[in-house]
């Protein structure tokens, strides 16, 4: 019998059950939306930046570029050449956690080098040296940055640019279990350890462990969650 002062125990139980179900549905929807947002953010970040480099090659702003994705990494490296010159800068080593490592500069003759270091496209310092070749240690401030980069100039002429692009802003300071990591590269269901995207004179190539492919699926993870991003030629 209904109490004149309130609801029956059965009605309260039914209402509680409905609230619990709705809460669960909302939580699930939020979780699915969040995971989709991470995937879309990753896809946009990677695909749009590669597309930007493609446009730079087409309009001759750069002569070529190379983007390297390696399993187990929390970011990728892109190298773009201003022109087909023999002088260039390269990476000998790089530690993603400390944002530090060593560059190697090389040229056919001695001359002045300038390496402009930038964080999120903002110049934070310049390293000057002279000679035909040298090993140059470097270190960026370990903060929440999307990208660290170095632009190499020889005899005041732009040579090439190297960028270290993190998959998310939390990569540098986040604990290991909270980092977004590239776990694997898959081609037609077979796992590979690396993917290289190259573009030279409008000719674009995808190389999975050195083998040309038309497309590759990148599997990222943060903890137990996985996110998939497809890269096509």
Token representation of residue 188 = 């037609």
Phi, psi of 11 (to 5 degrees): -65, -40
Q: Return the sign of the alpha-carbon dihedral for residues 92, 118, 76, 141.
A: positive
pLDDT over 70 at 100, yes or no? yes
* Average confidence (pLDDT) over 101-107: 96
43 burial level (CB within 10 Å; 0-12, 13-18, 19+):
middle
Using a CB cutoff of 8 Å and minimum separation of 24, what contacts does 80-86 make?
Answer: 80/53, 80/56, 80/160, 80/161, 80/163, 81/159, 81/160, 82/157, 82/158, 82/159, 82/160, 82/161, 83/158, 83/159, 85/154, 85/157, 85/159
Q: How far apart are alpha carbons 104 and 90 in whole angstroms?
A: 5
pLDDT over 90 at 217, yes or no? yes
* Side-chain half-sphere exposure of 215, counting CA atoms within 13 A: 8
Name the pTM for this structure: 0.80
pLDDT over 50 at 26, yes or no? no
pLDDT given for residue 110 in this prediction: 95
Predicted confidence band of residue 195 (pLDDT cuts 50, 70, 90): very high
What would the pLDDT profile of 46-77 be if each residue is shown by its tens digit? Answer: 888 888 998 888 888 889 999 999 999 999 99
Could you tell me which residue, 55 or 32, shows the higher pLDDT? 55
pLDDT over 50 at 1, yes or no? no
- Range of weakest confidence among 37-41, 47-51, 69-73, 116-120: 37-41
Mean pLDDT, the chain, rounded, equals: 84
pLDDT given for residue 8 in this prediction: 77
- Whether residue 208 contacts residue 195, with contact meaning beta carbons closer than 8 Å, is answered with yes
pLDDT over 60 at 81, yes or no? yes
Could you tell me which residue, 33 or 231, shows the higher pLDDT? 231
3-state secondary structure of 219: strand
pLDDT given for residue 173 in this prediction: 59
pLDDT over 90 at 33, yes or no? no
What would the pLDDT profile of 124-180 be if each residue is shown by its tens digit? Answer: 999 999 999 999 999 987 667 889 999 999 999 999 999 999 888 665 556 666 788
Q: Show the CA angle centred on residue 58, arms to residues 231 and 196, nearest 5°.
A: 30
Q: How far apart are alpha carbons 182 and 180 in whole angstroms?
A: 7
pLDDT over 80 at 213, yes or no? yes
């Amino acid at each position: 019998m209904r109490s004149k002062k309130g609801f029956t125990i059965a009605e309260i139980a039914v209402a509680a059950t409905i609230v619990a179900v709705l809460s669960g549905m909302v939580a699930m929807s939020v979780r699915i939306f969040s995971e989709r947002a991470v995937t879309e953010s990753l896809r946009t970040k990677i695909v749009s930046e590669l597309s930007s480099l493609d446009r730079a090659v087409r309009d001759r702003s750069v002569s070529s570029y190379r983007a390297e994705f390696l399993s187990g990494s929390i970011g990728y490296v892109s190298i773009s050449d201003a022109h087909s010159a023999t002088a260039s800068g390269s990476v000998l080593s790089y530690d993603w956690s400390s944002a530090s490592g060593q560059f190697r500069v090389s040229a056919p003759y001695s001359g002045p080098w300038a390496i402009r270091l930038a964080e999120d496209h903002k110049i934070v310092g310049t390293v000057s040296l002279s000679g035909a070749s040298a090993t140059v240690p470097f270190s960026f401030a370990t903060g929440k940055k999307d990208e660290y980069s170095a632009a190499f100039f020889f005899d005041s002429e732009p040579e090439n640019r190297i960028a270290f692009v993190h998959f998310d802003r939390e990569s540098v300071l986040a604990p290991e279990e909270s980092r977004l990591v590239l776990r694997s590269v898959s081609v037609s269901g077979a796992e590979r350890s690396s993917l290289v995207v190259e573009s030279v004179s409008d000719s674009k190539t995808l190389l999975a462990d050195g083998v040309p492919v038309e497309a590759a699926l990148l599997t990222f993870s943060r903890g137990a969650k996985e996110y998939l991003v497809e890269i096509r030629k």
